[in-house]
Structure formats: structure tokens, C-alpha cells
């Protein structure tokens, strides 16, 4: 799938990219500065492993910051799968900008393409079912918007972006509030009525309490398949409109095991925190001089 970056996300991403560049080239790229090099060149970014391309827009932004006249030629579109040896992008820019932005651009592409590729594998397991794959908040601090973007490129959906855009009453909230029923009641009284309330459950007793408390969505956390079957039966019998999410140690094997259940969502932190980086490389090549007439 191809996916464009939301303008607001891009605005936030630019601030982050500036920070990343400052981190890597705080007072400049000393090596490039001491070399007597100049002029436009192009750099080819190619794959040394398979993956799903994610992060092209951010690469463009990096080189625009370093050289406003730079541009990127896309050999593949965002979200397309690639194989070892394929050219992905060609960046045309001042040679010093190419060298300064090399590691940051590769790090971003390798990390995001790895997440998109791993997510795509999970999504393919769920093909033919109604279950939608969600990510979690188990992300790298400061890098969340990039990682969650990569999940969407891979075909998954974002759960909450942060603590500010959804209500999930988890185990420690339940303990602090004095039980599921009390927690849901307090949330109903104070929360925006347009927001859904999700409750995390770990056993059938908690499932029954969450259902009776009027939860809009129930998370089945770290349950066995047999437990999930019973929990789903309880929930569907009570109210077919309640959404059901399975979560907790969701890997490819677990996903294959539960894909036939009557679930609405499956959330997995692994698609971000356990995704391997794609192996990419960048190679400079001199732009041929214009012919003389």
C-alpha cells in the first residue's frame, strides 16, 4: 500500500529530524568539511535484504534541510515490497549534504522499512478474517510518530498514539480505583462522551465484570486460546456491539493460532519493538557532465 504523511505529522517530524541532524552533526560534519569536495552528485540507496519501503518522505526532508535544491528520485513507491539488490531511491544533492545526511537517512529507512516489513507479515496472516492488527505504545522514546507511521505503511493500524487520545483502564488503574466497576463508572462521569472506554482483563471473572460495567471494548490480555473462546462467548452473549481485542505476547505463531476466533482486533508490541532492521546501503556516483556543443 502507498501512504502519504499527514501534514500535521510531517510538521512534527521536521522538528524531530532537525534534532536528529543536530545530534549527529552538532557543529557540522568535520570529515566532509576538511575535504576539498563540492558539486552535485547522486547517491543510490539500494537493498541488501528484503523489506517494505517506508520513510521516503522523511529522507526527502533530511536532504532538503541540508540542501534546499536536493531532490529524490523514487525507484519504488512507499509501501512497496523490495528484494535484495533493488534500487529504492536516488538522492541528487550537493556532495557534502549527501555525506552529512547519509547515516541518518539510512537509519530511518532501515528502521521504518523493517517495521513495515514485519507488520506486513502479521497482516498477511490475518488476511481473510475481519481481525485488524493494532500496534501498542511500546515504542522508542522520541521516535514514536515514525514507528507508528511505519506500522500503517505495513498495513497495520495504530492503537493509541499516546495517553491523550484514548481511554484504556489497565490493571494498575483498576487497583487504584478499587475495581473494574468503579473505574468504568468514574471514566463515564468525567470523560468526553464521544470517547470509547476499553478495559483490560486477564481472566473470565474480570471479563464478566467489564461487560456488566458497560465497557465499550474489552482487551483479553495474555489469555490462552481456550480462555479467549470462553471470554468471547460471554461478551457476545451479553452485547454483540462490544469490541474485543486480544493482546499480550502476540507473535506470528500465536496469531496463526487465534486467527479463527471472533475477535475485532489483535494488538502487538512486537511489530515495533521486535522488528529487525532492513539492510540498506548508499553508494555515491558522479553525475555525468553535460555535453558541450
Active-site positions? 138
Q: SS3 for 114? A: helix
Number of H helices, E strands in the chain: 12, 12
Q: SS3 for 261? A: coil
Q: Residue 85 and residue 46: Cα distance in Å, rounded?
A: 6
DSSP-assigned letter for residue 246? E
Q: Residue 44 and residue 283: Cα distance in Å, rounded?
A: 5
Of 233, 229, 201, nearest in space to 215 by CA: 201
Of 92, 127, 119, nearest in space to 259 by CA: 127
Amino acid at each position: 500500500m502507498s501512504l502519504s504523511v499527514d501534514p500535521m505529522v510531517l510538521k512534527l517530524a521536521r522538528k524531530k529530524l532537525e534534532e536528529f541532524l543536530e545530534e549527529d552533526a552538532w557543529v557540522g560534519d568535520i570529515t566532509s568539511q576538511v575535504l576539498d569536495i563540492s558539486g552535485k552528485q547522486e547517491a543510490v540507496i539500494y537493498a541488501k535484504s528484503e523489506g517494505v519501503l517506508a520513510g521516503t518522505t522523511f529522507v526527502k526532508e533530511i536532504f532538503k534541510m541540508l540542501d534546499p535544491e536536493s531532490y529524490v528520485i523514487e525507484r519504488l513507491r512507499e509501501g512497496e515490497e523490495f528484494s535484495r539488490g533493488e534500487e529504492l531511491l536516488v538522492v541528487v544533492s550537493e556532495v557534502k549534504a549527501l555525506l552529512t545526511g547519509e547515516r541518518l537517512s539510512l537509519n530511518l529507512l532501515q528502521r521504518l522499512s523493517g517495521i513495515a516489513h514485519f507488520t506486513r507479515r502479521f497482516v498477511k496472516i490475518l488476511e481473510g478474517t475481519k481481525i485488524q492488527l493494532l500496534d501498542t505504545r511500546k515504542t522508542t522514546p522520541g521516535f514514536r510518530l515514525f514507528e507508528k507511521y511505519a506500522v500503517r505503511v505495513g498495513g497495520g493500524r495504530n492503537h493509541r498514539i499516546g495517553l491523550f487520545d484514548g481511554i484504556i483502564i489497565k490493571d494498575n488503574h483498576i487497583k487504584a480505583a478499587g475495581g473494574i466497576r468503579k473505574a468504568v463508572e468514574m471514566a463515564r462521569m468525567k470523560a468526553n462522551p464521544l470517547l470509547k472506554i476499553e478495559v483490560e482483563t486477564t481472566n473470565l471473572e474480570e471479563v464478566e465484570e467489564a461487560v456488566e460495567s458497560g465497557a465499550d471494548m474489552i482487551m483479553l490480555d495474555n489469555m490462552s486460546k481456550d480462555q479467549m473462546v470462553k471470554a468471547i462467548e460471554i461478551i457476545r452473549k451479553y452485547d454483540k456491539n462490544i469490541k474485543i481485542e486480544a493482546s499480550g505476547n502476540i507473535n506470528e505463531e500465536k496469531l496463526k493460532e487465534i486467527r479463527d476466533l471472533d475477535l475485532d482486533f489483535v494488538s502487538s508490541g512486537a511489530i515495533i519493538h521486535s522488528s529487525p532492521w532492513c539492510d540498506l546501503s548508499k553508494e555515491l556516483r558522479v553525475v555525468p557532465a553535460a555535453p558541450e556543443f
